[in-house]
Amino acid sequence: MKTSIATVCLSGTLEEKMQACAAAGFDGIEIFESDLVVSPSSPAEIRALADRLGLTLDLYQPFRDLEGVSDELFAKNLQRLEAKFQLMQELGMDLILVPSNAGTATVSDDTIIADQLRQAAQLAQRYDMRIAYEALAWGRYVNTYWHSWQLVQAADHPNLGVCLDSFHIFSRADDPSRIPEIPAEKIYFVQLADAQDLGMDLLPWSRHHRVFPGEGSFDMVEFMTYLTEAGYTGPLSLEIFNDVFRETDTNITAADGLRSLRWIQQGARGRITPDNPVREHLTAMPKIEPVEVIDHLEISTDSPDECGALLGALGFKFIGQHRRKSVQLFVAGGVKVVLSPNVRGGTYISSVALQVTDSNDALARARALGAPVVSRPVTADEVRLPGVYGPGGMQLFFVDATSAGWPIEFGADLDQLAASTNTIRLDHLNVPEARDHFGASVLFTLATLRLTALEGQDVASPRGLVHSQVLESPEGGIRWIFNQVPRIYTNRSGEPVRYPGHIALAVSDLEQRAATAIDAGLAVLPIPTNYYVDLQARFGLDDETVERWQSLGILYDRNADGEFLHLYSETIGGLFIELVQRVGSYRDYGPGNAAVRLAAQEQHEQQDRVFSR
Ligand code: MG
Ligand code: MG
């Protein structure tokens, strides 16, 4: 379907916004009045710029507080509306958004409101304009889409239709299932916005916390499915008021927005039976099976010796150095880690390689979601792993049967690797992402790999709340957590440092593993006594167990599904390793323990620095 975006979604001037929308690949835009008012360009110049950029000007908005008013006020409103039609003529536009009256309405009579809408539509007709009437969730008398449709029906004018905005429907927990009852030709426009459930008032929620489809908790795919079933064929427009977007690089936000429109259309295709002809209106993405296995991880580090020692203490085997590059392969059980040295860049997960059926299909899907391709030249006898950059800069690589032999380049014996008796496996990844890339990274990763987002959570750290988002594959093979962190994170001395991410490895014998690893040189993050006192009180544990766990730095949780034991290594640069043991069918991550860990890391870092002076 044709794609569009309201200029209010983006930072920058109107002209910069238009450039970014065109560069991202949008077909058109909604002109937000306040963007035009502050622009030095004349309407004719904006129109010419849109032409040059190949953008259509789809909707002029908003025209507030038109209907449900006294005759006297309505006459003034019509004059105001006529002035906008004249402006729109200069812009070469023909569709204006009229949200339901939330400010000046005094008349709740549907007959009068419909009559005023009809008069407005008659005026529009004289200018060859059309009016899209939208029910604001906080409209005084009209606040449901169904009511707006009843009024449009009653007004019965060819230049009047409805605008459906997902935020106004879902934020009131309204039922979108009657959308297919509205004739497609009367749905003049559609605005898509998602949001997290923040339990706040509608107006501030809408004005500050809308996010792109897929980045919140509304069932946007359901909404898109109903629209398609109604026969609506576009445009699909994004109308996102978001404080972060207003300060984020325009191009990042525009690319993220277009990605969300690709994702939502693909999602709706999945819900509509293939024999239904309306399905063809939804733009398809290259399809892949959901990804369930991480093939290997690459750690970029300026401390390769420390990293190698940490992996060694945890039972990883050093397999060898790449025959051409100075990167090293470590393997333990089903976990393969490539260490790649950098110069003073810290330590972090630089790439994640995923097992897929066909790496070219996966690459095509990632590219359709706007990801740039990684260029990694290889020699003729080397395996090429296709890869892309995620929005935050992390690389994703795709491994299929044709490239699964890549460890040979490190001197690995594949049979020997397969015969390993070590039962260690990857439990989850935790990746820090700056605030301005967070939503984009979450959406990109879940859309590319077909993961599902669980409910977002906030974790208290000594220096602010960390918002975290868990993504999981359908079979639970991949658990990937993004943490939203400040763009510039500093230690207590004000020096910029990498906010730590981590790799969590699952074992079946945590206490024994921990003891062995500590003997082999593992430095465990010490956990304060207060934690263990609380733990004992909460779970009624015996003294001996608690003392043993404290000596090993083990944290604990228990719920109806089972038990969870875990520990953290010291942080190297911007990365640490977590060891976890899940007992029974425990699926969580030890709620509350991350806050203990963050405080312990902060404390530990302090002591470390004092000590190293
Ligand atoms: Mg709207
Ligand atoms: Mg963890």
CATH of the domain at 98: 3.20.20.150
Same domain, 245 and 297: no
* pLDDT value, residue 434: 87
Ligand nearest to the CA of 166: 1
Ligand nearest to the CA of 505: 2
466 has pLDDT over 90: no
Strands (E), 170-283: 187-192, 194-195, 210-211, 236-238
Q: Which residues contact 470 (CB under 8 A, 6 or more apart)?
A: 453, 454, 457, 479, 480, 481, 589
User: pLDDT averaged over the chain?
Assistant: 93
Q: Which residues contact 599 (CB under 8 A, 6 or more apart)?
A: 461, 462, 528
Q: Of 242, 258, 281, which residue is a domain's last?
A: 281
Q: Which residues contact 150 (CB under 8 A, 6 or more apart)?
A: 110
Chain centroid to CA 427: how far?
Answer: 21
Per-residue confidence band for 25, with pLDDT thresholds at 50, 70 and 90 = very high
Same domain, 197 and 229: yes
The CA 597 to ligand 2 mean position distance, Å, reads 10
The CA 186 to ligand 2 mean position distance, Å, reads 50
The CA 174 to ligand 2 mean position distance, Å, reads 37
244 has pLDDT over 90: no
Ligand nearest to the CA of 97: 1
Same domain, 264 and 393: no
Residue 602 within any structural domain of the chain: yes
* pLDDT value, residue 560: 97
189 token code pair: 């426009």
Count how many domains the chain has: 2
The CA 480 to ligand 2 mean position distance, Å, reads 10
Residue 286 within any structural domain of the chain: no
Q: What's the distance, Cα to Cα, between the start and end of the chain in Å? A: 62
- How far CA 177 is from CA of 173, 194, 222, 232, in Å, comes to 12, 17, 9, 14
Query: For the segment 310-347, what is each residue's pLDDT rounded down to a tens digit?
Result: 999 999 999 999 999 999 999 999 999 999 999 988 99
The number of CA neighbours under 13 Å toward the Cβ of 426 is: 24
- How far CA 262 is from CA of 25, 224, 242, in Å, comes to 11, 11, 20
* pLDDT value, residue 611: 40
Which residues hold their Cβ within 5 A of ligand 2, which is an ion?
504, 578
The CA 121 to ligand 1 mean position distance, Å, reads 19
Ligand nearest to the CA of 189: 1
Smallest CA-to-CA distance from 450 within 256, 287, 298 is with 287
The CA 471 to ligand 1 mean position distance, Å, reads 29
Same domain, 475 and 570: yes
Same domain, 177 and 316: no
* pLDDT value, residue 490: 73
163 has pLDDT over 70: yes
Same domain, 272 and 335: no
Q: Of 255, 281, 307, which residue is a domain's last?
A: 281
* pLDDT value, residue 493: 76
Residue 99 within any structural domain of the chain: yes
Ligand nearest to the CA of 427: 2
Residue 186 within any structural domain of the chain: yes
Q: What angle do CA 585, 590, 596 make, to 5 degrees?
A: 165
Query: For the segment 122-137, what is each residue's pLDDT rounded down to a tens digit?
Result: 999 999 999 999 999 9
Choose between 488 and 439: higher pLDDT.
439
Query: For the segment 350-392, what is each residue's pLDDT rounded down to a tens digit?
Result: 999 999 999 999 999 999 998 999 998 899 899 999 999 999 8
Q: What angle do CA 604, 608, 611 make, to 5 degrees?
A: 140
Ligand nearest to the CA of 168: 1
182 has pLDDT over 90: yes
Choose between 466 and 580: higher pLDDT.
580
Q: What angle do CA 77, 79, 83 make, to 5 degrees?
A: 115
Ligand nearest to the CA of 192: 1
447 has pLDDT over 70: yes
Chain centroid to CA 258: how far?
Answer: 13
Buried b (16+ CB within 10 A) or exposed e, 446-468: bbbbbbebeebbebebeeeebbb
Same domain, 265 and 360: no
Query: For the segment 198-231, what is each residue's pLDDT rounded down to a tens digit?
Result: 888 999 899 888 999 998 889 999 999 999 999 9
Which of 278-287, 452-461, 526-535, 601-610 has the least mean pLDDT?
Answer: 601-610
Q: What percent of the chain has pLDDT over 90?
A: 81
The CA 301 to ligand 2 mean position distance, Å, reads 20
Per-residue confidence band for 464, with pLDDT thresholds at 50, 70 and 90 = confident
* pLDDT value, residue 607: 53
* pLDDT value, residue 613: 33
Same domain, 347 and 202: no
Choose between 132 and 453: higher pLDDT.
132
Ligand nearest to the CA of 238: 1
d(CA 136, CA 242): 17
The CA 594 to ligand 2 mean position distance, Å, reads 7
The CA 196 to ligand 2 mean position distance, Å, reads 23
The CA 498 to ligand 2 mean position distance, Å, reads 17
Residue 288 within any structural domain of the chain: no
The CA 244 to ligand 1 mean position distance, Å, reads 19
Q: What percent of the chain has pLDDT over 70?
A: 99
Smallest CA-to-CA distance from 28 within 53, 3, 45, 47 is with 3
- How far CA 60 is from CA of 77, 97, 129, 606, in Å, comes to 16, 6, 11, 55
Residue 449 within any structural domain of the chain: yes
Segment (H or E) for 285? none
* pLDDT value, residue 524: 96
Per the CB < 8 A criterion, the answer to whether 212 and 194 are in contact is yes
The CA 365 to ligand 2 mean position distance, Å, reads 29
The CA 249 to ligand 1 mean position distance, Å, reads 23
Show the domain range for 31: 3-281
The 10 Å Cβ neighbour count of residue 543 is 9
4 has pLDDT over 70: yes
